[in-house]
Amino acid sequence: MSNLVILIPIALFLGGLGLGGFLWALRSGQYDDLDGSAERILLDDDPNGGNA
C-alpha cells in the first residue's frame, strides 16, 4: 500500500511530462508541416541552417 503512494504520483508525473512535451511541440509549430518534415530529413544540408 505504501509503495502505491509513491508509485502512482511518479507514474502520473511521467505521463504528464509526456503530455506537456507533446503540447509544447504542438505549440512550437513542429506539427505544422508533417509531410515536409518527413522529407527534410533526407536533405543533406538544409539551406536554412537545419532548424527544421
Partner 1 sequence: MSCCAPAAEAALDLERFSEASAEEIRLASRPAGPGLLQVHLSVPGAHCGACIRTIETALARLPGVEDARVNLSTRRVAVRWREGAAKGDVPPLVATLGRLGYEAHLFDAAQDDGRDPVLSELIRAVAVAGFAAGNIMLLSVSVWSGADAATRDLFHWVSALIAIPALAFAGRIYFRSAWNALRHGRMNMDVPIALGVSLAYGMSLYETMTHGPHAYFDASVSLLFFLLIGRTLDHVMRERARVAVSGLRRLAARGATIVRPDGSHDYVPADEIGKGAVLLLAAGERVPVDARVVAGLSEIDCSLVSGESEPQQAGPGSVLRAGTMNLTGALTVEAVATAEDSFLAEMVRLMEAAEGGRARYRRIADRASALYAPVVHLTALLTFIGWMVATGDWHRAITIAIAVLIITCPCALGLAVPIVQVVAARRLFENGIMVKDGSAMERLAAIDTAVFDKTGTLTMGTPRLVEAERVAPEALAVAAQLAANSRHPVARAIAEAGKGTAAGLRFEAVREVPGCGLEAQAGGAVWRLGRAAWALGRETESGGTVLSRDGVFQAAFASEDRIRPGAAEAVAALGRGGIHVAMLTGDAAGNAEAVARKLAIADFAAGTLPGGKVERIAALAAEGRKVLMVGDGLNDAPALAAAHVSMAPATAADVGRNAADFVFLRESLAAVPLALSVSTKAGRLIRQNLAFAVAYNAVAVPIAILGHVTPLIAAIAMSGSSVVVIANAMRLSAGAGRWWEKPAGTRPAPGGTALRPAA
Which listed residue (19, 28, 30, 50) binds partner 1 by CB under 8 A? Answer: 19
Among 2, 3, 4, 10, binds partner 1 (CB under 8 A): 4
Q: How far apart are CA 13 and CA 25, in angstroms?
A: 18
From 2, 6, 35, 50, residue interacting with partner 1 (rule: CB under 8 A) = 35
Whole-number Cα distances in Å, 51 to 7, 15, 17, 30, 43:
38, 28, 24, 11, 13
> Do the Cβ atoms of 52 and 46 come closer than 8 Å?
yes
**Residue closer to partner 1 (CB basis): 6 or 32:** 32
50 binds partner 1 (CB under 8 A): no
